[in-house]
C-alpha cells in the first residue's frame, strides 16, 4: 500500500468515528482530498486508493492537473476551493465540477453565462467570512442572505447553489473549533427556512474535521492528513 493509501484510510476512519460520535451516518459526509501543491501522481495514487473528489486552490494549477489527469475522467470530480477572479471564470466554468469559493454575485453570474451547455450545472457554494476580520475572503454573514437569493435565482441549468463553505480561523480544542462551524450551520439553516434548497456544508480540514462533522459538515476538505505536508508554492511567472 502506498503511504497516500494508508493516510487516506486513516482519514476515512477518523470520519467514521466522528460520524458515530455525532450520531450521523458516514454516508452523509463526502471526503474532498485537497491536492493543491501536490503533483498529478499524488492524485493518481489517491484515485488508485478509491478517492474520487479532489479540491484545488489555485486556478492555474488546478487546470494543469485536470488536463494532466484527463485519462481518469469522468471518474474524477474537481472542486475549486480557492479564490476566483473574474478573468478566470471561463476556464473554471469549462473544467471544474464545483466551486466552493463564490463570494460575490458577479462571479456566479459569469460562471452561469460561461458554463458550457453540454455539461451538467456547475455546483456552487458561497464562501462565508465566518471569523470576521481574520479572513479577507468570503461574504460577511450580514450580506449572505441577499447574495444567496440572487445566486439561487440564476439559470438553474447552468449553475446550482448547493450550500455554504467556510475556512474558520485555526482554534485549539473541540469546543472552540465547533463554534464557527456551528455559526455556519445556523446560517445555512436560516437560509433553508427562507426557502432555499441547500444540502451542502463544506467545512472541516485536517485539524478540525471532527468539530465540523459534529456541527453538520457534509463535505470535509482534507489535504495534509492525506497527502502529507505541502511543498512550498513555486513562484509562477506571469503569462506573456
Ligand atoms: C489547503 C486547504 C484545505 C486543506 O487544508 P489541510 O489543513 O491541509 O487539510 C482545505 N480548504 C481550503 C480552502 C484550503 O485552502
Whether residue 202 lies inside any domain: the answer is yes
Do residues 188 and 222 make contact, with C-beta atoms less than 8 angstroms apart? no
Give me the torsion for CA of 138, 93, 50, 10, rounded to 10°.
-10
Distance CA 166, CA 221 (A): 11
Residue 239: what pLDDT? 45
Residue 34 in contact with residue 55, Cβ under 8 Å? yes
Strand partners, 154: none
In a domain, 240, yes or no: no
Cα 205 to middle of ligand 1, angstroms: 6
Q: Tell me which residues of the chain have a pLDDT lower than 50.
A: 239-240
Closest CA to 220 of 18, 63, 3: 18
Tell whether ligand 1 has an atom less than 6 A from the beta carbon of residue 81: yes
- Decide if 136 is inside a domain: yes
CATH number of the domain that residue 138 is part of: 3.20.20.10
74 domain-assigned: yes
For the chain, how many structural domains are there in total?
Answer: 1
Q: Convert the pLDDT of each residue in 56-81 to its tens digit.
A: 999 999 999 999 999 999 899 999 99
Please check whether residue 239 lies inside any domain of the structure.
no
Helix (H) or strand (E) holding 114: helix 105-114
Distance 116 CA to ligand 1 centre (A): 28
In terms of Cα–Cα distance, which of 126, 115, 185, 114 is closest to 152?
Answer: 126
**What's the grid cell of residue 35?**
491536492
Asked, for residue 238, whether it belongs to a domain, the answer is no
What pLDDT is recorded for position 21? 98
- The residue segments making up the domain with residue 198 are 3-227
pLDDT at res. 132: 79
Burial class, 91, CB count within 10 angstroms (exposed 0-12 / middle 13-18 / buried 19+) = middle
**pLDDT value, residue 240:** 41
Round to whole Å and give the CA distance between 28 and 200: 10
- Distance, CA 21 to ligand 1 centroid (Å)? 23
- CB distance 7 to ligand 1 below 6 Å: no
Amino acid at each position: 500500500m502506498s503511504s497516500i493509501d494508508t493516510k487516506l484510510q486513516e482519514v476515512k476512519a477518523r470520519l467514521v468515528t466522528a460520524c458515530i460520535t455525532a450520531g450521523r451516518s458516514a454516508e452523509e459526509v463526502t471526503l474532498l482530498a485537497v491536492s493543491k501543491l501536490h503533483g498529478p501522481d499524488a492524485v493518481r495514487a489517491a484515485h488508485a486508493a478509491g478517492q474520487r473528489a479532489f479540491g484545488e486552490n489555485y486556478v492555474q494549477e488546478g487546470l494543469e492537473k485536470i488536463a494532466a489527469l484527463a485519462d481518469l475522467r469522468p471518474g474524477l470530480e474537481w472542486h475549486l476551493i480557492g479564490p476566483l477572479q473574474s478573468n478566470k471564470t471561463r476556464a473554471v466554468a469549462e473544467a471544474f465540477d464545483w466551486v466552493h469559493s463564490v463570494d460575490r454575485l458577479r462571479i456566479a453570474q459569469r460562471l452561469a453565462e460561461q458554463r458550457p451547455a453540454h455539461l451538467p450545472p456547475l455546483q456552487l457554494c458561497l464562501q462565508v467570512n465566518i471569523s470576521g476580520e481574520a479572513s479577507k475572503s468570503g461574504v460577511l454573514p450580514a450580506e449572505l442572505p441577499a447574495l444567496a437569493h440572487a445566486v439561487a435565482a440564476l439559470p438553474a441549468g447552468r449553475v446550482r447553489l448547493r450550500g455554504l463553505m467556510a475556512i474558520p480561523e485555526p482554534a485549539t480544542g473541540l469546543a472552540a473549533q465547533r463554534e464557527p462551524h456551528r455559526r455556519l450551520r445556523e446560517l445555512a439553516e436560516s437560509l433553508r427556512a427562507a426557502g432555499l434548497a441547500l444540502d451542502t456544508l463544506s467545512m472541516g480540514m485536517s485539524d478540525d474535521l471532527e468539530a465540523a462533522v459534529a456541527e453538520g459538515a457534509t463535505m470535509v476538505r482534507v489535504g495534509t492528513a492525506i497527502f502529507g505536508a505541502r511543498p512550498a508554492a513555486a513562484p509562477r511567472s506571469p503569462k506573456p
